[in-house]
Structure 1
């Protein structure tokens, strides 16, 4: 007699249906090297935190079922008084915590932070420390927690195993922008809003010459030679953090300076979205150009 209390699965192995597009139609080239992906940013998504923000980056030039999207959420807790046993500090103690969700990347992440996540936390703290007015809160602490819901990876690509961690540059750029929005939402005084931007030296295919592109979608390029992530204060025209990775042909200093300048262009684009999101938070229902 059949068991009517549950639906039994098939006896043998089965493969789920795959709805995909042909390889030649998956990737649509961007209109130019200066094009950046769309950014969605919203503050106040976590009412229990002092400040919070959600950031999502989508590539409108790529036609893929899976895509390479970036989804981040940030919560800020504080400023709050340090324990009495803590030594006196004339400025605020900044604590940053960056963690991938277990399902954020193709390779499943553990529950404990690995070396890459700790590196992201160190770079994020350096980028934010130059923007916060630390002496406003003596003997106080603030915790900034960034959770990466979806990493900037094409998880369905079989060739992505040879990736050398270039997606971490885009992740750090998003962490800087979303953390700056969450800090502003928490009401913490800053000298300026800090935004992140990335520029990379990449080749479109095997025959093309490498060129500098903004906000690179790693899966859309044949090879990436170098990448630069910059944290930038647009109003003060100051750089708070630079992370360069890769090797330039012939160690060209002019090419390095050009990559940093292009990264600043990406930072300004992200800062415009950041300012617009904060303006909409202050004046809800009003369109900000």
Structure 2
């Protein structure tokens, strides 16, 4: 006898409905090559956590004002004492966990982390470790959990299957920025705010020459040749992590150096949003209730 109080979902995979595109929808990037998409960042969204933040990136391909292509939330738990059975550590133990929501991408994600999510967690830990003053909390641990509510993918694009995982670069950049805001909201001492930025070598159509753009919207280009994601400390002028993916034409080192330089520009732009959000949080805390 079946349980009437439980509604079972479908056995097989399901796909969301795809509606007709709006007339005049662009097929190329409307923003300039040196302009990043608009970022919304807010801290203190999860009261039960020591620190939290929410990041949302605008999708310029949609005509709706509320259309977005990337949504991330981050919670920080700690610092807290490690178990007595744990070996003594003179530095804080940093644990990062990045997970896609099951509905975040076109293909439904499982509940267990896959290799791509583990790679994002490793890169995120490397980027944050260079910013946190670890020796302030001996034999302590902090957990940083990033949930990707919506991945940086255009689900209606007929070129979706050609993305080849390039959207992970933008996802990592957003994870670095939102985690830095959550760490600051938790009151963990850092040498500087770390921000993420992406630059990519793309071809806008079949006949155009490759060019370097900031914060690439993958579905808006004909082909992506290479991309570089950088974690950057603007005040100290230090890079804590670099992730490069792709192949450069002729293995030209000049193009690689330019990709890194343009990624730093994207990092500085994202850091302005990060600093403005933290200043707004401080101003609201100073207002008497």
TM-score by structure 1 length?
A: 0.90
Deviation at 1:17, TM superposition (A): 8.8
Deviation at 1:284, TM superposition (A): 2.2
Q: What SS does the aligned partner of 1:25 have?
A: coil
Once the two structures are superposed, what CA deviation does each residue of 1:52-108 show, in whole Å capped at 9, x if it has no partner?
A: 000000133x23569661000000000000000000000000000000000000110
Q: What SS does the aligned partner of 1:91 have?
A: coil
Q: After TM superposition, which residue ranges in structure 1, 4 or more long, deviate above 4 angstroms?
A: 64-68
1:154 is matched with 154
2:56 is matched with 56
Query: 1:281/1:68 Cα in 2 relative to 1: closer, same or farther (>3 Å)?
Result: closer
Pairs within 5 Å for 1:1-289: 18-22=19-23, 24-27=24-27, 29-60=29-60, 62-63=61-62, 69-284=69-284
> CA–CA distance in 2 between the matches of 1:259 and 1:163?
19
Query: 1:16/1:36 Cα in 2 relative to 1: closer, same or farther (>3 Å)?
Result: closer
Gaps of at least 5 residues in structure 1 are: 1-14
Q: What SS does the aligned partner of 2:200 have?
A: strand
2:12 is matched with none
Once the two structures are superposed, what CA deviation does each residue of 1:190-218 show, in whole Å capped at 9, x if it has no partner?
A: 00000000000001100111100000000
Deviation at 1:236, TM superposition (A): 0.1
Q: What SS does the aligned partner of 1:118 have?
A: helix
Deviation at 1:31, TM superposition (A): 4.2
Give the RMSD, CA atoms, in angstroms: 1.9
Deviation at 1:163, TM superposition (A): 1.7
Query: 1:193/1:30 Cα in 2 relative to 1: closer, same or farther (>3 Å)?
Result: same
Deviation at 1:21, TM superposition (A): 1.6
The size of the alignment, in residue pairs, is: 270
2:4 is matched with none
Query: 1:264/1:50 Cα in 2 relative to 1: closer, same or farther (>3 Å)?
Result: same
1:10 is matched with none
Q: What SS does the aligned partner of 2:188 have?
A: coil
Once the two structures are superposed, what CA deviation does each residue of 1:90-142 show, in whole Å capped at 9, x if it has no partner?
A: 00000000000000001100000000000000000000000000000000000
> CA–CA distance in 2 between the matches of 1:94 and 1:283?
29
Query: 1:156/1:64 Cα in 2 relative to 1: closer, same or farther (>3 Å)?
Result: farther
Deviates further, 40-49 or 27-36: 27-36
Kept in 2, the 8 Å contact 1:68–1:217? The answer is no
